[in-house]
């Protein structure tokens, strides 16, 4: 059995379930309560669970993210919402210098079971300060896990294992996905340690995540019409990367394109490519390629933003380039 819902509703169901089953869980962030969430993810939860557990905060990203760390150390299971990834840079000190380090630095005495959700990505003409993809930066940090749900299923089911994890988990929700609709099976469960093949194929691997998954699936569809069978791998978990799934796909297809909405330099794409070269270089029939965002601050005008971002057409061209 399955039912139809959108990504936003799936996230809300997950939050509602977490608040229901575990009294230690509470939500905290800017406008998560009375406003209903900037992207309406938490709409209605204030009425259901009250202001103690759906806690509106001042515009103090550093303060309330740090407070989330402290609350986690104090025995609670906070879910901190940061409105958008650009604003998370105001909280970077607490995430990098405290949350990620505490277990190791304390000789294993303290753990920080904190979940931080934030919106990421471009495509809605909201300009250079609301559109970037910094999840790759966070994915470079030892001590945390980084998730990027790109499907209804992951939106609904990644939160529970993230909350069960004893260490900090960051969840990046691409803003164009909030209205994504789909079917959700009643009996599905997900993990937070593996990549998944979203479309099987045999000629080229398209390795991607988050907001680029739908574009990659569109590209695979176009390529199928041209006789190229592309396999689409959804990374899902950006730290730790699931090397086994990536390498199995690349070794099978012998060609790979990595699609990442971050800027190309020092990106998730760069990391995945390096690992492919390290691990399955001799299986390759062509150099590994990538499609990333152009290295510019995100422009506002629609045509310029479109030009800056990975698009299905660019992915198709990159895959075809592997056969040149």
Q: From residue 99 to residue 138, what is the string marking binding to another protein with x (rule CB under 8 A)? A: ---xxxxxxxxxxxx-------------------------
List 30, 61, 261, 271, catalytic entry: 61
Distance (Å, whole) CA 252 – CA 231: 10
**Shortest approach of another protein to residue 85 CB, angstroms?**
19
In this chain, which stretch among 58-66, 206-214, 216-224, 243-251 interacts with another protein, using CB under 8 A? 58-66
Q: From residue 70 to residue 89, what is the string marking binding to another protein with x (rule CB under 8 A)? A: xxxxxxx-x-----------
**Helical H segments across the chain, by residue range:** 7-21, 45-49, 61-73, 85-88, 92-93, 102-105, 135-138, 152-157, 159-164, 213-225, 243-253, 268-280, 302-308, 312-321
**Shortest approach of another protein to residue 100 CB, angstroms?**
9
Q: Is 130 a catalytic residue?
A: yes
List 130, 132, 157, 174, catalytic entry: 130
Q: Which is nearer to another protein, 104 or 323 (CB)?
A: 104
Per CB under 8 A, 62 contacts another protein:
yes
Closest of 268, 248, 269 to residue 258, by C-alpha: 269
- Could you say which of 6, 31, 63, 320 contacts another protein (CB under 8 A)? 63
Per CB under 8 A, 167 contacts another protein:
yes
3-state helix, strand, coil in the chain (%, to 5): 40, 20, 40
Q: What is the bridge-based pairing of β-strands 230-234 and 115-120?
A: unpaired
C-alpha distances in Å from residue 145, one per residue of 45, 107, 167, 255: 26, 19, 8, 28
243-253 helix and 268-280 helix, angle to the nearest 10 degrees? 70
Q: Which of the 8 DSSP states describes residue 36? A: -
Q: Which is nearer to another protein, 27 or 298 (CB)?
A: 27
Q: Active-site residue numbers?
A: 61, 130
Contacting positions for another protein (CB under 8 A): 23-24, 26, 52-53, 57-58, 60, 62-76, 78, 93-94, 97-98, 102-113, 142-143, 166-167
């Amino acid at each position: 059995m399955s039912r139809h819902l959108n990504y936003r509703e799936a996230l809300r169901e997950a939050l509602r379930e977490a608040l229901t089953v575990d009294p230690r869980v509470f939500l905290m962030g800017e406008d998560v309560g009375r406003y209903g969430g900037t992207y309406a993810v938490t709409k209605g939860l204030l009425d259901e669970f009250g202001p103690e557990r759906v806690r509106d905060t001042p515009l103090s990203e550093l303060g309330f993210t740090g407070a989330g760390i402290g609350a986690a150390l104090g025995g609670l299971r906070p879910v901190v919402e940061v409105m958008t990834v650009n604003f998370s840079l105001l909280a970077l000190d607490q995430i990098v210098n405290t949350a990620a380090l505490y277990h190791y630095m304390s000789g294993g005495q303290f753990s920080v079971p904190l979940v931080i959700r934030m919106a990421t990505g471009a495509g809605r003409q909201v300009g250079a300060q609301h559109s970037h993809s910094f999840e790759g930066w966070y994915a470079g940090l030892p001590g945390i896990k980084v998730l990027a749900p790109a499907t209804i299923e992951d939106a609904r089911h990644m939160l529970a294992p993230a909350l069960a994890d004893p260490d900090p988990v960051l969840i990046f929700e691409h803003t164009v996905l909030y209205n994504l609709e789909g079917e959700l099976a009643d009996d599905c469960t997900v993990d937070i340690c593996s990549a998944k093949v979203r479309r099987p194929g045999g000629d080229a691997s398209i390795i991607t995540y988050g907001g680029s998954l739908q574009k990659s699936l569109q590209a695979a569809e176009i390529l199928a019409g041209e006789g190229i069978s592309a396999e689409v791998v959804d990374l899902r978990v950006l730290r730790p990367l699931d090397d086994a799934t990536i390498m199995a796909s690349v070794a099978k297809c012998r060609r790979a394109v990595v699609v990442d909405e971050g800027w190309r330099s020092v990106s998730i794409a760069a990391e995945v490519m390096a690992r492919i070269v390290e691990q399955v270089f001799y299986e390759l029939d062509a150099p590994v390629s990538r499609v990333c965002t152009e290295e510019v601050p995100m422009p506002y005008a629609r045509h310029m933003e479109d030009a800056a971002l990975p698009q299905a057409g660019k992915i198709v061209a990159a895959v075809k380039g592997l056969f040149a």
